[in-house]
Amino acid sequence: MPSNHFSRREFLKRNSLTGLGVVLTPSLVAKTVEHTTTAPPFSLAEPPALMGGKPVRTKAWPTWPIWKPETDEKQLLEVIRSGVWSRAAVVTEFEAKWAETVGAKRSLAVVNGTNALITALMQLDIRGGDEVLVPPYTFIGTVAPVIATGAMPVFVDVDPETFQMDPAKIEAKITPRTKAIIPVHILGLPANMPSILAIAKKHNLVVIEDACQAHMAEINRQKVGTFGDAGCFSFQNSKNLAIGEAGAIVSNNDLFMDKCFSYHNYGNPFGMASGVIGAGTIIQGNKQRITEYQAAIGLAQLKRLDAETTLRNENAAYLKAKIEKIPGIVPYKLYGNVTRAAFHLFPFRYKKEGFKGLSRDTFLKALSAEGIPCSKGYATLNNMPYLNDAFQSKNFRQLYPKAQLDFKNYVERNHCPQNDRLCNEEAVWFTQNMLLGTKADMDEIANAIEKIYTHADKLLSVK
Ligand SMILES: *Cc1c(COP(=O)(O)O)cnc(C)c1O
């Protein structure tokens, strides 16, 4: 038997810590996925798993979120037992640590990333009738906040090599109504901030970074979220810093942060956003506060974020170098000034010409069957019914000329062909938790893609 074959006993030993039950019902605490340092034996001659062959991988992937009772529970239990559950010292501690982590003067924790964006937009005075430039290659959580303020989202097409808003396409979209740009560091890869900031400066536009997927990503050693007027983060369950639900705004501007704080607490006085004594509630507010136990979970997760980010960067670079040799696989590009990415997702473009014309859908099915979870990612956000719903609303009808609310015309004006190609034909993603595995895990991803490449002609017959 070749030396890299496991005996059955060794196989059981290696996998006993995982156990089938754990794989089927992942438990947060009992989870211990054992990772081998070398990929198991693999043969390109084996038929694709989608056609009945042996899958390249059968092991579980690292699960997410991570919870380690030994290190993570002390402060959380203290908070729960204290009975102080509403915003107090632990939230303030989390905000200070988050500001320090990203290198911003201030941070404010709010209920989620969506409301971080709404709060930032409103306190930078983006309101009904304004136009806000956004990329179409993003999560709805970027665009819904723009509409919530009554402003009009205007879509700027993406650079397909980086998946980010293309600075070269921004100026053509600027009108006298344009007030802000929301660059999104989508997939955790930094957007081209130097170019975007230069355009914003020239046209006097507010810049709000959507860094909801880009915790600790850097351009020239400066963390994203700190380049614009405000940076917004999400700590939703899937994000690289997971609390379940929560978000944060960061900025160096004290007056702006005081106003955000006030807004997130009903508009009550805070710092420079203060009325005279006894004035009561002073600005139009909302309630966006997070709880003490959410902050305690965040502080526990924050201790691991740097090491996890390093591991994701190492594995992403290793995987990229392996799969970019396969014809038809074009991994993400980072801009030259990027010193670190967050890799909330690992993206590549799938060119079916390299795979004998095999459709992306069948490629994804075949890759999943090999034990490699994957997705085609976002659908086009610039032509969905939510936009027309907003245009039909009383607010929008009172704010905008009728011609601007013609949905068919809007969709034409906001056509983004590069984004269409990414969404409808080419993009493929792996999720960030997979990048927390070993080099052997990355080898298995590359092996599975190579196997599908080798058998592409046979897979063409799969419906
Ligand atoms: C997750 C996300 C949001 C919204 O954050 P929530 O905490 O889920 O509200 C906004 N923009 C992007 C790009 C996101 O990925």
Instruction: Please state which CATH number belongs to domain 70-298.
Output: 3.40.640.10
**115-135 residue pLDDT tens:** 999 999 999 999 999 999 999
Chain segment 162-177, per-residue pLDDT in tens: 999 999 999 999 999 9
The band of 35, judged by pLDDT with boundaries at 50, 70 and 90, is low
* Highest mean pLDDT out of 5-9, 273-277, 281-285: 281-285
Backbone torsions φ then ψ of 40, nearest 5 degrees: -65, 165
Question: 309: left (phi > 0), else alpha (psi -120 to 50), else beta?
Answer: alpha
Q: How far is the CA of 136 from the centre of ligand 1 (A)?
A: 14
Task: Tell me the Cα Rg of the chain.
Answer: 24
Using the atom order of ligand 1, give the atom closest to the CA of residue 114: 9
Looking up tokens 């729960």 gives: 80
Q: Which atom of ligand 1 is nearest to the CA of 186?
A: 13
pLDDT of residue 143: 98
- Max distance between CA atoms of the chain, in angstroms, equals 84
User: What is the predicted pLDDT for the residue at 274?
Assistant: 79
Q: Can you give the pTM of this predicted structure?
A: 0.92
Q: How many whole angstroms from 212 Cα to the centroid of ligand 1?
A: 5
Residue 25: its pLDDT value, please? 37
Q: For residue 20, which amino acid is it?
A: L
Q: How sure is the predictor about 12, in pLDDT bands with cuts at 50, 70 and 90?
A: very low
Please provide the DSSP assignment of 190-253 as one string.
PP-HHHHHHHHHHTT-EEEEE-TT-TT-EETTEETTSSSSEEEEE-BTTSSS--BS-EEEEES-
pLDDT value for 275:
74
All structural domains of the chain with their residue ranges? 70-298
87-126 per-position pLDDT tens digit: 999 999 999 999 999 999 999 999 999 999 999 999 999 9
In terms of DSSP H, where are the helices of 414-454? 417-421, 439-454
**CA-to-CA dists, residue 204 to 189, 195, 201, angstroms:** 26, 14, 5
What is the CA(344)–ligand 1 centre distance, in A? Answer: 12
User: Which atom, in ligand 1's list, is nearest to the CA of 247?
Assistant: 7
CA separation, residue 188 to residues 225, 331, 429, 432, 459 (Å):
12, 14, 12, 9, 32
Q: 143 C-alpha vs ligand 1 centroid, how far in Å?
A: 10
Q: Which atom of ligand 1 is nearest to the CA of 138?
A: 13
Q: How far apart are CA 429 and CA 337, in angstroms?
A: 23
Ligand 1 contacts (CB < 6 A) are 112-114, 138-139, 141-142, 184, 186, 210, 212-213, 234, 236, 247
